[in-house]
Structure 1
Amino acid sequence: MPPSPAELATLEAFALTLAQAAADVALPLFRARDLAEINKGNASRADVDFDPVTEADKGAERAIRALIEAHYPDHGIIGEEYGTLRPDADFVWVLDPVDGTRAFISGLPLWTTLIGLRFKGRPILGLISQPYLKEVFLGSPLGSRLVTAEGSTPLKVRDCAGLSTAVIATTDPHLYSGDEVQAFNHTRLAAKLIRYGCDAYAFAMVAQGTMDAALETGLKAWDIDAIIPVIENAGGIVTDWAGEPVGTYGGQVIAAGSPAVLTEALAHLSLAAKPADPH
């Protein structure tokens, strides 16, 4: 049986506690001039495969995992930095302690902490936290809202008639390859405006109603699980490029605030749709 509203409220409060624990680790390291990084990507293709990890990523995930183990020892965990624990549990937390590490090491306040919670394999709760800006975008069946020191504000996507009036975003156009390049370019050229380099923060702006769509390729579960409940419970739609629900491995993803924008974008993107890589 899915969690009751009371149980969801408790889990939401715990997710906010996890976000604060991650912030307590990451914020003191943000804009630190001596912060070291390791490239997890392909060093021979550093222009596109530079995939840095820092102590902010590792320390924040350790802090989150410790709290989950202490308070919900029967829950599973899937984390970017420290792997998988009890993945077949009914409840599984899916963690990206610093999404947008490139932004983090560049001193740009567009990185986020992503914390998602699956119930029986489906994301039901998620948050996108930007602690430098003191913003947490939280979503569950109880609704989506922006949580700040001043209180909570409901999140609602905006209606948009189609791509020609839409503001869209993607992290980096150079991450697309093969047929994806043409599909992305057709989508980009059909839109009113496209912004780059925002990582998961762009998805938060879709939920807030200041952007109309965000699209990516090559996502892992920890890149998207937390985002889905935020977008969907703000009235938006998240699918893969074939227009199907996003699978447990991530892959090609688009989130849109209106069905019209999604339909037009998928007319281009579906031509390059492919299954997510479980690895």
Structure 2
Amino acid sequence: MLLSSHVVAGNGIYWLKESNPTSRMEEFYVSLSKRVALNDVSISEVDRLCGSAEVATIIVSKAQALEYISDVFKGRECKAQFLSVLFSAGRYSSIDMGVLKTRHIAIEQPLMHQVSYASEHKQYIKRLGVLYSKRDDPVEIGMIKAMYKHKNLELVFRLTDDGSSSVEALKEVIKVVDGIVVSPQSKLITPTYIKPLLIATIRQRIPVFGGLSPGFVKSGFSGGWYSTNESISDTVVKVINKFEDALPVEYAEKPVLVVNERVSRHLRMQMKRPTSP
């Protein structure tokens, strides 16, 4: 039953089609279409929806498409509202949408959730490295620092925005910490740097938590909290129903915990399994 996931009737819900959708986009589309009636549209039809009498909600699943909409429509009157999904909060915050009504549901879970999960392993981790970015919410970073200031866990923060300096920051941090949390906004989770990150940490038997999605755990991260297609879909419904009251960036509720048992055995760690962040 999806009674709790029904959308308020009256406004059209439109899915902006991509020419080369990823498997994640296709899987998410299937999940979302079970909850709402989606109308597929192309980028060329956005202009028509902007001038429509109804308040259309256009769901955008790619940052580049949202950038295009921003460039074309942010200085024009547009009755449509835009809801972006499947990319990071930091990527969204870098796009200037002008006066367009926009909300975003981040693909990742908050950095605070990943730090919280890493802190569950205090028998192994006394000093925790937090590799973050200027695109992370400074309020959230401040809250994390305040929360752990008087706890039996020392946090070591390092900015990792630039490629070469991020690698140097990683080399420096792994000398002094027992575990690492990597922000979804960090340069180190990009394809160029993820392999050196994993090689360096596994050699030193240092667990790594966080990243964008469960795919990072499959690649060699120890674990973390992650949004599912189902939880993001439910959050889409919630935001559509209360668009005006929604936060600019929302995170999916009811994330799942994913751990890499093979890596944990290599690290000789017993991974904790809390029921919620």
TM-score higher than 0.5: no
Q: Greater strand percent: which structure?
A: 1
Larger-Rg structure: 2
Task: Output the TM-score relative to the length of structure 2.
Answer: 0.25
Higher relative contact order (CA 8 A, sep 6+): 2
Task: Output the TM-score relative to the length of structure 1.
Answer: 0.25
